[in-house]
Amino acid sequence: MSLKSIDIEVCGRFIRVNCPDGNSSDLYYIADILSKRLEDLKEKTGVSNIEQLIFITALNICYELELEKEKSVHCVKHLKSRMLTLNKMMDTALMKE
């Protein structure tokens, strides 16, 4: 897949990034989400230093990602347990025939 350079805007600042062809609309969308999160944090905290806002936002995003990973692991464990139970039930039903 080839890459193309695009300019994205985050909090009024432009940055050129490489993006796989066909994914630029996704990147613009994500950049908009990031901008909104930074602006919200700026309003909530009164912090105007963009670097500090970026670090705080990055920490928040990493924390949210870890929570989602934990949820995902829990769901996989639950599904495996349910599948094992279903397999046992099917084995029992097949043995009765």
Residue 96, pLDDT score: 80
Mean pLDDT of the chain: 93
The per-residue pLDDT for range 44-88, each reduced to its tens digit, is: 999 999 999 999 999 999 999 999 999 999 999 999 999 999 999
For 9, residues 6+ apart whose C-beta sits below 8 A from its C-beta are 31, 35
- Give residues with Cβ within 8 angstroms of 20, minimum separation 6: 1, 2, 3
